[in-house]
Amino acid sequence: MAAEAVKPWWRETIETIVWAFVLAMIIRTFIVQAFWIPSGSMIPTLEINDRVLVAKFWNWFFEPSRGSLYVFKYPMDRDRDFVKRVIAVPGDTVDIKEGIVYINGKPTQEEYVKNHDRFTLRENRFFPEVPFTVPENKYFMLGDNRGNSQDSRYWGFADISDMRGPVFFRYWPLNRIGIPK
């Protein structure tokens, strides 16, 4: 029976650090990532300085659904991440009149919107026709704090390839820990 060689302590330490780093990068890249909320566009659902976790693997199995909170690359500056609510999915017809969102001709019930505005969607470079149909692989995203949200009304659609994943847990601040609705 051969005696097993014992590694020096410094080699064990380096190997442990390298494996921990590799594992952390795999988890962050493919499974779960933490994000910080810098603005008030999602108040009251998400407050300024909230910290949330995003399930990055989710899009491998499911498509974004109406009403879910998603982090995605901001179409006007792809180095920034935004968090908004999916309001309309591919194939949906959308219109907004006096702050009320109509999906497929029916007014939506948005209990999560506490700060309504009087916005009416008009024809523009993003929406040459009103009402419009959400194109394939695109999503219409709105903030819950409608009067203070830079969202699809102003920059168009979020592409499926830019969707990082749904927000599934708020871990900070501790008094608001839980699943944001």
Active-site residue list: 41, 84
| Alpha-carbon gap, residue 43 to 59, rounded angstroms | 25
Q: How far apart are CA 128 and CA 136, in angstroms?
A: 17
Q: Is 34 helix (H, G, I), strand (E, B) or coil?
A: strand
Element (DSSP H or E) covering residue 26: helix 9-26
Shortest CA distance to 45 belongs to which of 138, 148, 153?
A: 148
Contact 141, 164 (CB under 8 A): no
